[in-house]
A and B are shown apart, each in its own frame.
Chain A
Amino acid sequence: MEVLERLGVTVEFPATQTCCGQLHFNTGYGPEAARLARRFVETFAPSELVVSPSASCVAMVRGHYPRLAALSGDQGLIDAVAELTPRVLELTELLVDRLGTTDVGAYFPHRVTYHPSCHGLRMLELGERPLNLLRAVRGIDLVELPGASECCGFGGTFAVKNADTSVAMLTDKLRAILDSGAEVCTATDSSCLMQIGGALSRQRAGVRTMHLAEILASREQHAAGGSPSGSAGASR
């Protein structure tokens, strides 16, 4: 929020928004997901651009809404989805592609490593965008994460339905994070951060997770601070 306003974007937060339906769709509840998709589309129809700090939510909207809409057979929804989805962006896409900036004037004097979430990496193909934004942060010591492209094991209900396998994957991710020597692990996806952060906290590992947006929002005044984040409709 702070970052966007700093860059001169007018931000709105439609209070009627809730969830994009990813949880339902990924678990097999298509009709429920379709209802939430309809709500999402109606909520954000008036916005010029829709930005979300969660890569997997954006992947859900851009990757799966068209199919959900087609399955519902409702032409109105199909059209509305086709009209809206190109305007739904992940935060780093908005910053780098639309606003054409990688330096958002942030200051964050800590050793940081970046976990590219699977959806950001493979579905949205965010590539170097998040890293370029991080490299431009003043004071930051950005270190490489070994085996970065490997999944952290979250996978929505996978983390609960296949808890043992999920934890086995997570353990390897934690080892890589600790090996990197970072004090902060960041990502563009809150769900990976919940998985990784939950385990770091349980193990008193001395490493914390922060969303990329929180790091970009940090300035000299609040060297370790952050700002709350959520989906917001944006118009310039």
Chain B
Amino acid sequence: MSHDMEHPPLSPFPAAARLALADTQLRANLRHATHTIREKRDAAVAEVDDWQALRESGRAIKERTLRHLDSHLLELEASVTRAGGTVHWARDGDECNRIVADLVRAHGAREVVKAKSLTTEETRLNAALARHGIHALETDLAQLIIQLAGETPSHILVPAIHKNRAEVRELFLRSLPQAPADLSDDPRALAEVARLHLRERFLAAGVGISGANFAVAETGTVAVVESEGNARMCTTLPDVLITVMGIEKLIPTWEDLEVYLQLLPRSATAERMNPYTSLWTGVRPGDGPQEFHLVLIDNGRTSVLADEVGRQALRCIRCSACLNVCPVYERTGGHAYGSTYSGPIGAILTPLLVGVRNAPTLPYASSLCGACYEACPVKINIPEVLLHLRQQVVGAEGPRTREAVAMRLLAVLFGHRQLYERAQRVGRLLQAPLARRGMIRARLPGPLAGWTDARDLPALAAQSFREWWGRGR
């Protein structure tokens, strides 16, 4: 992968997970949140008779589009330009941030209002703007909570899923002047304080920044799907709108949108239809922003496209269903993944985007239970991609690691019947001092301690099946 060296390596997942697992409040918050949404999603999906056919269309449209992404992108550029917008191309996060900062500075704005966007989280746009003295105000409620707390999102759809309302109440009391001293932790009261905080800033803002859920190549229409209505304010009130979008978000036709507008809300929030769907095509005199910029960003996506197995990750519509059903995510939370994209999709997308060398533990952050694949509305076979990436990690780490040597040895044992049988006999001798009533209870050395620290290990039987069989039973 060409961009391997530009990214600082992420901290290892097992260590980060260990810290998160010890946080009992986090565990309780996550367990409650994921189990609630799981049940609701199951019900919302069960209502649709042709859900599997819909999933299949969702998969097929994206796959076809990705195969001809270059020509579709040019079509999108032409459509947006025709409708009065301007298209910018960004190779990576830095270039994207530079383009956005230049546009904001050209309008002399000191503050911009932002709709929730994972792509600008990926490029760390807010920090880049701050270096130019520009404050980016997050307007999505959960994203605002994260911003006030100085944290990063721990869930791709519900960035503050790791916080409960008592924690949010304390945060608001500390950081929002609009918060009354007797603020309750009722979600409605909390939202009201945030609304007071945001409303005046919306009206004053000259520049709005958003991400995009979809962009239709044939018409140049951009779509943003949300629950709160704040993204709609960001995209309609300011005079200038800048939308940052990964190149994989494109769909060819207006008709294709219909499929995803059915798949996304049921998978994401278990709703039949999402509360706000904003669609705009370029600019219209006297109505909404009078200047529209669409920044199309690569940032590793073309190298993902070149990976025959991995490219399916680019079908992702960021619904978060895979996170919500994942038994690992449920227990570690999103921060353990160390990147914008967490959960099962993060475990494949992050190494694909930054190179496996820089995220070698993420492909192993899964028990391969397959719940993510089953839930994914665009049928991304996440376990398949995880396995594919594991082969790449082993390739990148070379043949001399302890694990690689052990694995080769095992393969040799498994490859020769006599060696295998002899190893069983040797194993039985070695375990003799440790085994009690068929179980090994002692702490084993090296990586096996990870097993015996919490579990007994069944000892090898006094007579193996093959010996029993061989002796005529």
Contact = CB atoms under 8 A, between A and B. Distances in A.
B332 A165 contact: yes
19 contacts: A23-B410, A28-B390, A29-B407, A118-B367, A151-B371, A158-B366, A159-B450, A160-B448, A163-B451, A163-B453, A163-B454, A164-B14, A164-B21, A165-B331, A169-B327, A169-B331, A197-B458, A199-B454, A201-B456
Interface string B155-175: 000000000000000000000
Given A18-B420, A158-B366, 11 more contacts: A27-B403, A32-B411, A122-B373, A151-B367, A153-B327, A157-B364, A159-B450, A159-B451, A161-B450, A168-B331, A199-B454
**Range of interface residues on B (Cβ < 8 Å):** 35 or more
A166 interface: yes
Contacts of A202: 441, 454-456
Contact of B21 (A15, A122, A149, A168): A168
A135 interface: no
A199 B453 CA distance: 10
B8 interface: no
Nearest to B419: A18
Contacts of B365: 162, 165
B417 A170 contact: no
Contacts of B394: 27-30
A21 to B, nearest CB: 8
B17 A162 contact: yes
How big is chain A's contact interface, by range?
Answer: 35 or more
Contacts of A160: 447-448, 450-451
A28 B470 contact: no
Interface centre among B368, B370, B455 (most CB of A within 10 A): B455
A23 B420 CA distance: 16
A5 to B, nearest CB: 10
Nearest to A160: B450
A229 B461 CA distance: 12
Contacts of B408: 29, 32
Contacts of B371: 118, 122, 149, 151
A220 interface: no
Contacts of A21: 414
A149 B17 CA distance: 23
Interface string B170-191: 0000000000000000000000
Contact of A165 (B21, B395, B465, B470): B21
A124 to B, nearest CB: 11
A43 to B, nearest CB: 10
A142 interface: no
B451 to A, nearest CB: 6
A157 B420 CA distance: 20
Nearest to B461: A228
B391 A28 contact: yes
A165 B415 contact: no
Nearest to A154: B367
A75 B393 CA distance: 27
Interface in B315-343: 327-328, 331-332
Nearest to B17: A165
Contact of B466 (A13, A121, A151, A169): A13
Interface in A115-173: 118-119, 121-123, 149-151, 153-170
Contacts of B214: none
B21 A36 contact: no
Q: Considering the complex of A and B, which 3 residue pairs feature the smallest CB-CB distances, nearest first?
A: A155-B367, A163-B450, A198-B455
A230 B451 contact: no
Given A151-B369, A164-B14, A169 B420 contact: no
B70 to A, nearest CB: 27
Identify the interface centre among B21, B365, B411, B451: most chain A CB within 10 Å of its CB: B411
Nearest to B370: A122
Contacts of B148: none
A52 B441 CA distance: 29
B466 A198 contact: no
A39 B411 CA distance: 11
Nearest to A209: B458
Interface in B379-404: 387, 390-395, 403-404
Contact of A13 (B331, B395, B407, B469): B469
A125 to B, nearest CB: 10
Given A13-B469, A199-B455, A228-B461, A19 B414 contact: yes
A24 interface: yes
A26 B366 CA distance: 11
A6 interface: no
B364 A161 contact: yes
Nearest to A15: B466
Interface string B1-25: 0000000000001100110010000
B14 A161 contact: yes
Given A165-B328, A167-B454, A202-B454, A36 B415 contact: yes
A27 B370 contact: no
Nearest to B440: A198
A236 interface: no
B457 interface: yes
Nearest to A32: B411
Interface string A186-226: 00000000110111011000000000000000000000000
B415 A18 contact: yes
Contacts of B364: 157-158, 161-162
